[in-house]
Every structure is written in structure tokens, then in C-alpha cells.
Amino acid sequence: MNFKLTLGATVAGLLLATTAQAETTATAWTDLNLRAGPSISYDVVAVIPAAQSVTVDGCLDESNWCRVMHGDVSGWASGDYLTAMVEAPIASNRERLDVQSITYERSPNSTIGGGAAGAIAGAIVGGPVGALIGAAIGMGAGAAITPDERVTTYVRSNPVDPVYLDGEVVVGAGLPETVPLAEVPESEYHYAYINGVRVLVERDTRQVVYIVR
């Protein structure tokens, strides 16, 4: 499978000063999955912590996925959650880059998490903007949580059917009504398995409040 990848040769439109050989640097505005390939169906190989920087090699023309380097780990992250100095998602600002094109070809030996992904059951409610607003409201209301070990152990020990949604899952993201939520006994939390990631959900708002790693 071939994809065209846009690679920033310069980032003069985004950064104050650079050279043609400069690499694009972006920041994750929330804890962000780093995946083995450019899709929600690939395994999560690492997590980019919120406010940490990555080096961006380029982004696919056909989607919002960008190939990045975080520390010594290379992988793919959703460009909707990466910001440059424009304070906006880097994926939607690619036209402001002076770009050259290369290709991405999936290796026949590459693996997709949990086997072949199921059908997309919907989309993250509100998209990246909705997730950002949801996370901000949650933090402002003191709702940022750290569940006790009993909760996370229960979630890990009681798997539920996977659901695949269009869009990366992050804290603050909203889940559509089509996603079934399982209850954690003697707890205020519900949970689901979204895009290969276990998440705790606030039942009334259906917002992701914690990602169980």
C-alpha cells in the first residue's frame, strides 16, 4: 500500500527563523499515542506526554497522520494533536510548508494491533477541538483524575469488545452513543476499548477522563 508523504524541507511559514535543512518541531498538546503505522489500527509503541516536543519528518497527503521522532522512538502520531508555533494543528497547516513528496509503503510483515481492525463505528465527538475543550473544562473543574489501582486492575482484567472510531483517542475526547460503556463495580467510572486503547469514561458526558496504559 502506497501513501504520499509530505516532508517539510523548510518551515519558514511556521517558525521565525530556519534553514532549508531544518527539521519541523511540534508539541503535543495532550498525551498522544505514538503508533507503529499511520492508522488507529496500528499498535501504540509509545506515548508522547503533553507539552513535550517531537521532530516531524512529514505528514501524509491523504490523512492527518505525521511521522515523528520522540526521543529515540520513531512512529506515527495524529497531526491534529501536534502544534507548531502557529498554535494550531500542524496537520491542517501543511499548505504553509514548502514541501517535497516521498512515499510510504507498508511492509508485508507489518502488524496491526489485535489483527485486522473492525469497521469504523463512528467518529470522536467534536474532533480535536472538542477534545481540547473537553480536557480544558475537565481540568478547570478539577476533574483530571488518577484512578486507584483497583479500578485500573479491573479494567485490565475484564476486557470488552474493541470499538474503532475515526480520530485518535485522547483525554477530553467524546464518545458517540454507538459506543457501549462497561461499568466498573463500586466505582463512578465506566470504560471502553477504543482504537486499541483502554479508556475510563464519565458516563453522563461520555468524555474520556483517563487512559489506562
| Cell digits of residue 191 | 470504560
Say what the pLDDT of residue 23 is: 62
Is 197's pLDDT higher than 50? yes
Rounded to the nearest integer, the mean pLDDT of the chain is: 76
Q: In this predicted model, which residue has the larger pLDDT, 88 or 145?
A: 145
Name residue, grid cell 476499548.
193
36-67 burial code (b ≥16 CB/10 A, e <16): bbbbbbbbbbbbbeeeeebebbbbbeeebbbb
pLDDT band at 98 (very low <50, low <70, confident <90, very high): very low
Is 96's pLDDT higher than 60? no
Is 70's pLDDT higher than 50? yes
Say which amino acid occupies 211. Answer: I
What is the pTM for the complete model shown? 0.73
Per DSSP, the three-state class of 111 is coil
User: What CA–CA distance (Å, rounded) separates 138 from 195?
Assistant: 22
Domain ranges of the chain: 2-105, 120-212
Indicate the CATH number for domain 2-105: 2.30.30.40
**Phi, psi (rounded to 5 degrees) for 154:** -65, -45
Name the DSSP letter for residue 29. S
Q: Are 137 and 174 in contact (CB under 8 A)?
A: no
Q: Where are the beta strands (DSSP E) in the chain?
A: 2-10, 24-28, 32-35, 44-48, 53-60, 65-70, 73-78, 82-83, 98-105, 120-123, 162-166, 182-183, 190-194, 197-202, 207-212
Q: For 21-69, how does the pLDDT look when each residue is reduced to its tens digit (9 = 90+)?
A: 346 788 998 899 999 999 999 999 999 999 999 998 888 877 788 899 9
Say what the pLDDT of residue 120 is: 72
